[in-house]
Amino acid sequence: MKLPAIEILDEKDKRLRLISKDVTFPLTNEDKKNIKDMLEYLKMSQMDEYREKYNLRAGMGLSYVQIGIPKRIFVVVDEVNENEFENYVLINPKIVSNSEELIYVGEGEGCLSINREVEGIVPRYARITVEAYDIEGNPFTIRVREDLSIAFQHEIDHLNGILFIDRIDPKNPYKNANTMREI
């Protein structure tokens, strides 16, 4: 497989702070190609062989704004078994409900746009329900939990110009950890 030629913006790029605009249908061929490339890139980043070959950092999700296009689209690639993946494409996503329970990633959240270690925890809902559209413009509702819930919230934040580092308390990076469940 050949690595798709996508360029992921670094946290210093001000475009990451843009609030993405709703998408209209039908999608352009360019949008469809970008979505395909983003999914392929993420899949390859999670496979040892390609991660080493192309010197990639493993990633689970990418939002359109991370490739410099402020449209409300994100993709998530979830490795369900070794080298077996489930792809999610969400267009114009909206969180319509969430659990009260909060969770956080024990080793800390990461982001393909932030190329450094970041200390602290990011409070996220354990379960969320999201309404969105697929590539063809069909509406759907999806309920996700645990890792997928975190990934979806992380990517929706990107669409709103928010980076995960914004959600870490700078004075107390592990604030309220005892009130949340680590995953």
Tell me how far apart the alpha carbons of residues 145 and 151 are, in angstroms, rounded to a whole number: 10
Catalytic residue among 30, 131, 136, 155: 155
40 is catalytic: no
Residues with catalytic roles? 155
